[in-house]
Amino acid sequence: MQSSFFRNTDQNYFPLLWAFGDARFLLLDVNSYLKGKPESVTDWTLGEKQKERIDMALFDGYEAPWKFICYHNTLGGYPLGSKKGPGAYGRGPLFTREDFEKIHDIDPSLNIDPEKVEQVWLTDLALETNVRAFFYGHDHIFFKKDVGKTSGGKDTIGVCAGGTTYSGALLPVSIWDNPYWMEYYGPYFEDPPPFLSPPGMTELEIDKNGATVKYICTAPPECMHANMPPGTKPGDVLREYHLQK
Determine which helix (DSSP H) or strand (DSSP E) holds 146, and give its type and residue range. Answer: strand 142-149
Q: Is position 245 within any domain?
A: no
In this prediction, residues 199-226 reach a mean pLDDT of 90
pLDDT at 181: 85
Q: Is position 221 within any domain?
A: no
Q: Is position 91 within any domain?
A: yes
Q: Is position 227 within any domain?
A: no
pLDDT greater than 70 at residue 20: no
pLDDT at 145: 97
Contacts 24+ apart (CB under 8 A), 186-194: 188/225, 188/227, 189/227, 192/229, 193/227, 194/143
Percent over 70 (pLDDT), the chain? 84
Say if residues 70 and 28 touch (Cβ distance below 8 Å). yes
pLDDT greater than 80 at residue 168: no
Q: How confident is the model at residue 161 (pLDDT cuts 50, 70, 90)?
A: very high
- Domain hosting 124: range is 14-192
pLDDT at 64: 85
Domain count, the chain: 1
Q: Supply the CATH number for residue 69's domain.
A: 3.30.750.180
Euclidean distance between CA atoms 112 and 100, whole angstroms: 7
Beta bridge partners of 104: none
DSSP annotation string for 88-127: -BT-S---SHHHHHHHHHH-GGG---GGG-HHHHHHHHHH
pLDDT greater than 80 at residue 171: no
Q: Which residue has the higher pLDDT, 2 or 153?
A: 153
Q: Is position 161 within any domain?
A: yes
Q: Is position 243 within any domain?
A: no
Q: How confident is the model at residue 6 (pLDDT cuts 50, 70, 90)?
A: very low
pLDDT greater than 50 at residue 110: yes
In this prediction, residues 184-211 reach a mean pLDDT of 92
Q: Which of 54-63, 151-160, 188-197 has the lowest mean pLDDT?
A: 54-63
Q: Is position 209 within any domain?
A: no
pLDDT at 166: 75
In this prediction, residues 95-105 reach a mean pLDDT of 87
Q: Is position 172 within any domain?
A: yes
Say if residues 164 and 201 touch (Cβ distance below 8 Å). yes
pLDDT greater than 70 at residue 12: no
The structure's pTM equals 0.89
